[in-house]
Amino acid sequence: MLQFCVARSFLRSFMVPALACCACSSEPSADGNTQAVPLFNEAGAGAPGAGTATPTGSTPSPASSGSAGATSSPSNDGSEQGVMPIGIAAQGGAGAAAPGSGATGMAGSAAGSPSEPPPVPLPVGSACPATALFCDDFEDDPLGQFPAAPWQNQTGSGATVRVDGVQAFSGTRAVHVLAPAGAYRRGYFSLQNGSPIFPAASREMFGRAMMWLEATPSATVHWTILQAEGRAANGTHDAYYRYGGQQQGGAGLMANYETNMGVSTDCYSHSATRMPTRAWACVEWRFAVATNEQQIWLDGKEVTDLHVIDRPTTPGSGCLGNGVNGEWLAPPAFTTLHLGWEQYQQNGIDTNLWVDDVAISTERIGCPAP
């Protein structure tokens, strides 16, 4: 079930751009993502029944990412073939941080105070906290279909995004992203200007999604599971804040900063922490414009070696290009959020990712109860 002040049925009837919801104005930004010439072939043949939509209102991520210190060369279809990257993951791992919203309940009243009512138990966890701008558990989406508005279809090169009942963290449905074995794949479902999260979360965004990944890539492949983007201050390019992975045989988590339209960056910072597989993982993130900052939590604990402020300090981090002097310069406003899977080099296995219980806010959300 999607929650953001009005029911989804109302949203479908009156369309997202007309929505005025709580603190989230939906006026489109004048600097929305302009179209750039993509550096990859977005028209790859889809799997049977795959959506044929092309990206709408958002410039596709550059597939020039040899990120994380990989060198790469384009294949015939415009995607890239990566080779072993340099700069092996640095020391460190998931640092302790304040846990998410998994508070356990209080029970009983104080002894010797029979006249006082017992305290109200604290909630164990919340799939959609009261502070959220937007929540979706996909329970009211038709099986076999792309998730309904306000989600936008940003798939290409053979990937598919559909709601199914194979895996679900809560309820019986979740979004299933399938990226078949091969080179470049892009399977995103996205929130853009006009959705309930913008402009409220355009300068500082907290997010949470439950993710179930069947397997990490079979080789050292750069991949992304979430990305926020917006037009740079000077208007010449888009800037991408990403989390995904690449090293440790394709399992190690990574922060990535990328730009397009001829501005070369592709900056990377690797973690000692690996992406969990065949289990539900609570992935939380924060993107902040004012401090050029990105931050990620995994199952309630911060992955400290992926906390970037202006530029990473983790040993082994770097950039393949120097278009912005090594800084991870955020755009003045984020205007698009992508969730799903994008890969930039040859992967020998199909990738199956399920996403459930998405929540977006302007403050930390925490993990729902198991």
Q: How far apart are CA 226 and CA 146, in angstroms?
A: 18
The segments of the chain whose pLDDT lies below 70 read: 1-125
Structure tokens at 76: 């015939």
Scan for tokens 């790469």, then name that residue. Answer: 72
pLDDT of residue 127: 84
Q: Is residue 222 part of a domain?
A: yes
| Residue 3 placed within a domain | no
The answer as to whether 2 is a domain residue is no
pLDDT at 1: 67
Mean pLDDT for all residues in the chain: 77
* pLDDT for the residue 142: 98
Domain CATH for 258? 2.60.120.200
Q: Look at residue 124 and tell me if it is in a domain.
A: no
Predicted structure pTM score: 0.72
Q: How many domains does the chain have?
A: 1
The backbone region for 140, taken as left when phi is positive above 0, alpha when psi lies in -120 to 50, beta otherwise, is alpha
Give domain status of residue 122, yes or no: no
Phi, then psi, of 341 in degrees rounded to 5: -145, 130
How far is residue 172's CA from residue 241's CA, in Å, rounded to a whole number? 31
**Residue 42 maps to a domain:** no
Is residue 107, in this structure, part of any structural domain at all?
no
Q: Is 16 left (phi over 0), alpha (psi -120 to 50) or beta?
A: alpha
| Cα–Cα distance, 348 to 350 (Å, whole number) | 7
Four-residue CA torsion sign, 83, 277, 267, 90: negative
Work out the percent of the chain whose per-residue pLDDT is above 90: 65
pLDDT at 126: 72
pLDDT number for residue 75: 36
Query: Token pair 């966890």 is at which residue?
Result: 125
Among candidate residues 159, 137, 62, 153, the one with its CA nearest the CA of residue 353: 159
Q: Looking at this protein, which amino acid is placed at residue 34?
A: T
Q: What are phi and psi of 205, to 5 degrees?
A: -125, 130
Residue 337 is predicted with a pLDDT of 98
Predicted confidence at residue 121, as pLDDT, reads: 39
**CA-based diameter of the chain, in Å?**
78
Domain range enclosing 340: 66-100+139-370
48 lies in some domain: no
Q: Which of 98, 116, 284 is nearest to 208 (CA)?
A: 284
Give me the count of residues in the chain. 370
